[in-house]
Structure 1
Amino acid sequence: MIVILFDQSTESRYLQCFNGLGDLFNSDSLWPFTEVKPTASLRIGILPLFEKWKHALDAVVLYDCLDNSLSIDEQIALSPYEAEELYFVSVNVIPNESFLEKLISLSKGQYLKSGNDLLALRADFDEPSKVRVAHIPFDETLIRVRFIEDLYLHVGPEIIRDFEILTKHFSGALYSESNTVIGDQLYIGNFVEMECVTLNTKTGPIYIEEGAVVMEGANLRGPLYIGKHAVVKMGTTIYGNVSIGECAVVGGEIANSSIGDFSAKGHYGYLGCSVIGDWCNLGAGTTNSNLKNNLSPVELYDYLSKGLRDTGLMKCGLYMGDFSRSGIQSAFNTGTVIGTGCMLALTDFYPKFVPSFTWLYGDIKEAYQLQKFISDLEVVFLSKNKRLDKRLIERIIEINQSTFKN
């Protein structure tokens, strides 16, 4: 079985046969988080979307990504799995039991729709252009990641669901007696360093990956995910519904938020109802608001409409794209969207929207010079023993040129 996670930009001769049968998901609605990486690699809870599909089905899962120069059709042709079972699934769908049942029951040429949204289809590997298409409605409950606020709203429930999947054969966590553990929904990987920490798993499971360091005095409530080699600093307070990426460093107060790989919020300050991309840094004292004083619904900048969109939510915090950095004592107002690769150093509240590759300091706003940005980013990567990939650089250049084309 082969499952291809697709969106509006996916090019495939199989997908072309279903043109006009429904709307395809546009990943631009998740900018800035999908500016330089595919939707399929976004982590929601513990697992990224493509990993959720790998665990849901015994299948090869394919998607467009910078790490693979092959087209989707070339990947299909090279797959060792049976191509007769060839399925396309909208990349923003989080699999559940009812959807999986409908998906597997599809015959060649049948497709699932919700309203006018094309959710999934089964293609004919041998003769894609001759397949007779048939519509199957899907009106059951289904979680789809449509907007950037969904990346924090589903963190808690998805940690709970992923925890159940990943710990089916786990017998129980081993930890030092200096720690206080409430409840039994705790997973601790190998080589985790943790002493004098309070962990409350009655509010939801806590999953700590291998090599993580949780320092003394941290107070943790589930649902919570702490990634590989992440560091939770002394006295950190995490209120739950929080996902912390690989090699990330966190401190202060955190609630209802997702923090990307290699990002740092290492000092005091509050982060709530927020999404922080990969390789970001929040300077000491950085704090965000997530609630308006008049309790009115929060509006967020929307890349598709190029204007503000009413989320209908009372709480929305900071949304910061990959490679962006804020100076000490930074203050972000309710519902602030920061693009990719921004350098921020203001002592007042930041604007509600800051375009990618913007440098703000004092009273000055200017473009972050591309070559300087790339050279700075190379230094950041080297500091973590990583190399800046050529294809990522090409994508950064493409986004930069698109941002400043006018």
Structure 2
Amino acid sequence: MNYILSDGIHREALFPFTFTRPVAEIRVGILTIREKWEKCLNVSVSVKTEDYLSTKFPLKTSSENVVINASYLPNLDLVKAIQKLQLGEALMDGDTCIAYGTGTVETVFDVSNYTIISYQPKGLTIKNTWDIFSKNGEALQSDYDILTTGRKSQPISSTNQVLNPENIFLEEGAKVEFSILNASTGPIYMGKNAEIMEGCIVRGGLALCEGAILKMGAKIYGPTTAGPGCKLGGEVNNSVLFAYSNKGHEGFLGNSVLGEWCNLGADTNTSNMKNNYAPVRLWSYQTEGFARTGLQFCGLMMGDHSKCGINTMFNTGTVVGVSVNIFGSGYPRNFIPSFSWGGASGFTAFKTNKAFEVAEAMMKRRNVEFTETEAQILEHVFELTQKWRKY
């Protein structure tokens, strides 16, 4: 069988992150959803996504395909159920299709002519943006088990104070000196060439992916993920940064998700709880209103290529779109559309030519090329999000 991960029905609920990537490329835990399925199935998988993303994320089909809803994260039981699927069979979670076997890959999950196999999932699902951080601890533990079982960690330097060292894993080239590592509340994983600088205090779980860095004196707790190339400093609690994003200085980031190529200026702070302790509501692109998360703690959701200046203050439950540039004093509003430029005193449209200059400059610093494909994706996102920019 050829395995394909489809965006399914939850793509819009995962905006702004899925403006610029398929659902399968969301990082939660240590790995992206696609990487998790590839590890569990032991094969390469492709994705079925929007046409404007398909050049960067191409689809590969064959005469026999299993299409999997990418919002479902793999576990042993689910993988076995999917591997048993035959052509014309659909694995269903109530009214929601988890996977189906097909000779032709449909645009949508239409299983009206399929043999239905009912299935009660026991694993994790990522159906809303806040699921990414709220379920990060479970996903991190699962990925840690997959990546480290049967393998031996690089040695931990004796300069560190360590609790539960058997729950800490350092890949080749990872460095940590003169820091406190407490893995009693969750695993600590350091990817290849990751670094924890001196004086950091880490309370697991933590995933510090390849090339990621904790700056000196950082305080990290709650299950937190810093994707490849990310930099973290100050105080960070239960947050996920996808890749190449920076929160490198003092300030607090909590119960938040940052996409790729984001940058938070020095002393940026996010509120993650309302003063009246009420459950947080978060902007929904689907309803164009504020959705009930059911969570008391929820901070910042920031799409790819967005930035904020020093001393920026974010209200509880703020959603920032793609390629936004925020600066100035005061609290900006709690929904900022993509390609906006400004702050609490007001916004204007951030034209794509200027946004591309910023993206190219940031990516060049990490020796990553800003390609024509990237530009075309962002151009499309600019058009998609025009209706939310009232300026």
Give the alignment's TM-score, normalised by structure 2.
Answer: 0.92
Structure 1 residue corresponding to 2:160, chosen from 172, 175, 179: 179
2:333 is paired with a residue whose SS is coil
1:156 aligns with 2:141: no
**Structure 1 residues 104 and 344 mapped into 2: Cα distance closer, same or farther (>3 Å)?**
same
Q: Aligned ranges for residues 184-263 of structure 1 at < 5 Å? A: 184-263=166-245
State the match for 1:80 in structure 2. Answer: none
- Conserved 8 A contact 1:333-1:349: yes
Q: Aligned ranges for residues 23-172 of structure 1 at < 5 Å? A: 24-64=8-48, 66=53, 68=55, 72=59, 75-77=60-62, 83-84=63-64, 86-124=65-103, 133-172=114-153
- Comparing 286-295 with 115-124, which one deviates more in the overlay? 115-124
Deviations 1:291-344 (A, max 9, x none): 112111110000111111011111111111111111111111110000000000
State the match for 1:10 in structure 2. Answer: none
| Equivalent-residue separation in structure 1 for 2:286 and 2:144 (angstroms) | 34
Aligned-pair distance for 1:212?
1.5
State the match for 2:301 in structure 1. Answer: 319
1:277 is paired with a residue whose SS is strand
State the match for 1:14 in structure 2. Answer: none
| Equivalent-residue separation in structure 1 for 2:287 and 2:39 (angstroms) | 35
Aligned-residue identity in percent = 32
- Conserved 8 A contact 2:313-2:330: yes
- Conserved 8 A contact 1:45-1:162: yes
- Give the paired residue count: 379
Aligned-pair distance for 1:125?
6.7
- Conserved 8 A contact 1:220-1:240: no
- Conserved 8 A contact 2:56-2:373: no
| Equivalent-residue separation in structure 2 for 1:177 and 1:185 (angstroms) | 16
**Structure 1 residues 262 and 132 mapped into 2: Cα distance closer, same or farther (>3 Å)?**
closer
| Equivalent-residue separation in structure 2 for 1:191 and 1:258 (angstroms) | 23
Aligned-pair distance for 1:71?
5.7
| Equivalent-residue separation in structure 1 for 2:104 and 2:11 (angstroms) | 26
Letter in 1 for 2:17: F
**Structure 1 residues 371 and 287 mapped into 2: Cα distance closer, same or farther (>3 Å)?**
same
Deviations 1:24-72 (A, max 9, x none): 4131110111111111111110010011101111333111474746863
| Equivalent-residue separation in structure 2 for 1:117 and 1:312 (angstroms) | 22
State the match for 1:296 in structure 2. Answer: 278
- Conserved 8 A contact 1:173-1:186: no
Q: Which runs of 5+ in 2 are unaligned?
A: none
Letter in 1 for 2:240: S
Letter in 2 for 1:281: N
1:2 aligns with 2:2: yes
Q: Aligned ranges for residues 299-378 of structure 1 at < 5 Å? A: 299-361=281-343, 363-378=345-360
| Equivalent-residue separation in structure 2 for 1:64 and 1:196 (angstroms) | 46
| Equivalent-residue separation in structure 1 for 2:207 and 2:16 (angstroms) | 23
Letter in 1 for 2:93: S
2:239 is paired with a residue whose SS is strand
**Structure 1 residues 140 and 69 mapped into 2: Cα distance closer, same or farther (>3 Å)?**
closer
Letter in 1 for 2:100: L
Larger radius of gyration: 1
Letter in 1 for 2:33: L
- Comparing 172-181 with 272-281, which one deviates more in the overlay? 172-181
- Conserved 8 A contact 2:47-2:58: no
| Equivalent-residue separation in structure 2 for 1:133 and 1:362 (angstroms) | 52
Letter in 1 for 2:95: N
Letter in 1 for 2:101: R
